[in-house]
Amino acid sequence: MSRPPPPSPSVSSGVLGIKTYQYTPLREMEFRLVRILPARSSKIKCEIVHASIENPPDFVAISYAWGDADDTRKLILEGAIVPVSMSLHGALEALREKKEDVLVWADALCIDQQNRDERTQQVQLMTSIYTQATHVAIWLGSEADNSNVAVDLLQDVANNAQVSHYVSDLIKLSRDGPGFPAVIALFERDYWRRLWVVQEVFNAKEIWVYCGSSKLHWDVYRVASNVFWDHKANFDLTFPGSHNHGNGQRSSQNQFTYSQVLAYQGPSSIPDFSSMTSLGEDSLLEVMRACRRKLSADARDKVFGILGLLPEDIRNEFPVDYNLSVKEVYINVVDHLLHSTERLDVICESIHFPLHTSSANLPSWAPDWSHVPETASLGRSFAFSASGETDAKYKFLDERRRELEISAVYLDTISVHGISVGTLCTLADYLMAFVHWRALLLGSQERWNLGNQEAFCRTLCLDQVPQAFAESPKWLTACYHVFSSLLRERLPRMPLDEEIQRYVAPQEPVHIEPKARRQFLQEHFGARMMGRCFCLTENGRMGMGSGFMAAGDVVVVPLGCSTPILIRPEGPRGRYRFVGDVYIHGYMYGEAMKGGLKDLQKYVLH
C-alpha cells in the first residue's frame, strides 16, 4: 500500500493482548470488510468479514491519512486488542452507530499489511472497492484549530456561492476574524497531501466529509473551494502576504498566502480527472503530472496509486508488483509513454534543480516521481511545439534500459548564464536576478538594441505576453517599469543605469497601479523565473532554462518534443546527461525544423 505499514493485527505482529488476530487467507476476487459493532462502551469493537468483489454487501469505504505510525489507539477485533493509528480510530468512532452494525472498508485493517502478495492483489481491487461502496467517508481528523468554525464558513460560502457581493463582503468583514485562518488550517491537513486519496475520491459514487463531529457533503467543500478560486484577487487585497494578522494567526503553516491555500489546496488539490480520461495514451503523463505533488511512503505507489484514475487499457500495462524496484517501475513509465505516444515530453519531467538525491539510481532522463519539485516542466504549463509535427525517434541501447538514444536537431551551445532563481524566493531574488540577467545582455551588445531588449522581456515571461500588452513596445515598457520601480522602492540606494531609470516613471502610461506591481511581477514573471536562469548561446540566442545549466551545455530540439532541451557532454564515449528543458526565444514553435532535418543527430543519454 501507499503508506508505511501500521501496527498490523496479523499474527506476525506478535502478542497484542490476550490473544492475537490472525487473518484468514482471501480467495480470488475476495476482500475483507470491518463490521463496527454498536456503541455499547467507549471501546470500539469490530469483526472481520469476507465478501466477494463481484457481489458485495452495502458498505462504506473510508478515505483517510494514516498519520503518525507511533501514535496509536486500541480497538477490540474479535477479542484481540489491536493498535490502529489515531486517525483510523477517529474515523471508526465517527462512523459507529449506537444501535446498528456498520460495514466499512479501511485498508489498514482489511489488508494484511505484512503479506506482500496480498497487498499486491488487493491494490488491484481498490478501484472496484471504492467504486462499489455505497459512499466514501473522508476523515479529515478530530476537531482542532477552530475546525468547527471552518466547517460553518464553508457551508455559508457554498449556500451563497451565486451571490458574488456576499462573498466579497464576507472576505472584507472576516479580515480579523477566526473564519479564514480556520479554513486555512483545515485545507492544510495531512489528508490533502496523500496520493491514494485522489483515486479514492475519483472513484466514489457519493462522498461525505467528516471532521470531528461535523459531517458535510463533498459538494459543499468543492463549491466553497471554487468560490475561493474565483475570489483570489479579493483575498490578495484583504490578506496580502503570508504574515501574521491582527488575530495573531498565521495564514499558512507553509508560508503560502491566503489565496494560494484557499484556491489551490484542500479540495482543489484533488484534480478533476474526468476530462483527462479522453486524452487516450496521453492521459498517463497528464495524470502523473497532476499528482506530482501528492505524497506516498512507497515510491512505487507514485505509479501504482494513480492507476485507478486511468483507462483500463493503460492500467493493464502496469500490473501492481511490489517485487519490482523503484527504478524498474519508473523506467517502465518512460518506456510505455515513448512507445504509445511517440513523444519525448516525459523526459522533461526529470527536473534536476534544485539538486536532490535519490536512492533509486535512475538515469538522468528518467523522472524521479517520488521527488516533489517546486517547478514544473515547460511542456506541462505552456502549449509549445518546438519539434513541430514530428514523431520521436529513439531506442534503448541495452536490455536494462540504462541508455536512451534520441534523434534531435542541434541548435546551439550555452555560452553564459545568469544567477539561478531559487524555489524559496522573495521579491528581492527576482529583482536581483533581473539586474544580473540584464547586465549579461548589455555586456553582450556593442550598442543599445531595442529588438534585443524586447526579446529579453519576452524571454523573462516565456513569451506569454498578455493581450493588452501585445503591441510593441508596450510589453517592454510594462516589464521595465515594474522591475525598475520596485528596485527603486525596495533598494533605493542601488544605482540604476540611465536607460532603465527612464522606466521608473515612463512617458507612456502603463496602466499598472503601484499597489498591483508586485502581483503583476509574480503573475507574469515570478512563476516563470523560479527555478530557472537566463542564458545566452554562442550564436547570440536568448533563453531561460533549468537552474542546473552550465556553460558548454548543448541545446537540441528532439523529434517529438514540445521544447528544446539541454544536454551535457559527459565521459569519453560521447554520452550526455539530461539537464532539463529550456526556452529559446524564437525556437518554440517548430522553427528548428523548418530548414529540414539537415542538422539531425543522434545523442545517447545516460
- Write down the pLDDT at residue 47: 97
End-to-end Cα spacing for the chain: 31
Predicted pLDDT at 241 = 62
CA angle 413, 414, 419 (to 5 degrees): 170
Helices (H) and strands (E) in the chain, counts: 22, 17
- Consecutive 10-residue averages of pLDDT for the chain (606 residues): 46 46 94 96 96 98 91 94 95 96 97 92 95 98 96 97 91 90 96 96 97 97 96 86 44 71 94 71 92 94 94 92 96 98 98 88 97 93 95 95 96 97 89 96 82 96 95 92 95 90 87 88 93 97 97 98 98 91 98 82 96
Q: What is the 3-state secondary structure (H, E, C) of 419-475?
A: CCCCCCCCHHHHHHHHHHHHHHHHHCCCCCCHHHHHHHHHHHCCCCCCHHHCCCCHH
The backbone region for 189, taken as left when phi is positive above 0, alpha when psi lies in -120 to 50, beta otherwise, is beta
Q: Retrieve residue 450's grid coordinates.
A: 531595442
Closest CA to 358 of 370, 372, 342, 345: 370
Q: What is the pTM of this model?
A: 0.90
What grid cell was written down for 529? 523565473
Separation of alpha carbons 386 and 581, rounded Å: 11
Contact (CB, 8 A) for 251 and 178: no
Task: Locate the domains of the chain by residue range.
Answer: 11-139, 147-269, 273-416+548-605, 426-529
Q: What is the DSSP string of 7-65?
A: ---SGGG---SSS---PPPPPTTEEEEEEEPP-SSSS-EEEEEEEETTSPPS-EEEEE-
Q: Interior CA angle at 598 toward 595 and 604, to 5°? A: 120
Distance CA 197, CA 187 (A): 14
User: What is the 3 state secondary structure string of 466-496?
Assistant: CHHHCCCCHHHHHHHHHHHHHHHHHCCCCCC
The alpha carbon of 103 is separated from its chain's Cα centroid by a whole number of angstroms, namely 34
Residue 36: name the closest of 79, 76, 6, 83 by CA: 76
Q: Which long-range contacts (CB under 8 A, 24 or more apart) does 427-431 make?
A: 427/486, 427/490, 427/518, 427/521, 428/490, 428/491, 430/521, 430/525, 430/526, 430/529, 431/483, 431/486, 431/487, 431/490, 431/491
Q: What pLDDT shows up at residue 317?
A: 94
8 Å CB contact between 336 and 281: no
Cβ(205)–Cβ(135) under 8 Å? yes
Evaluated on CA atoms 192, 194, 199, 201, the torsion sign reads negative
Q: What local confidence, expressed as pLDDT, does residue 129 receive?
A: 97
574: which DSSP letter?
T
| Rounded distance between C-alpha atoms, residue 89 and residue 91, angstroms | 5
Tell me if 455 sits within 8 A of 585, measured CB to CB.
yes
Structure-derived torsion over alpha carbons of residues 153, 158, 159, 163, reported in degrees to the nearest 10: 110
d(CA 77, CA 109) in angstroms, rounded, equals 10
Closest CA to 390 of 424, 436, 341: 341
- CA 266, 515, 249: angle at the middle one, nearest 5? 40
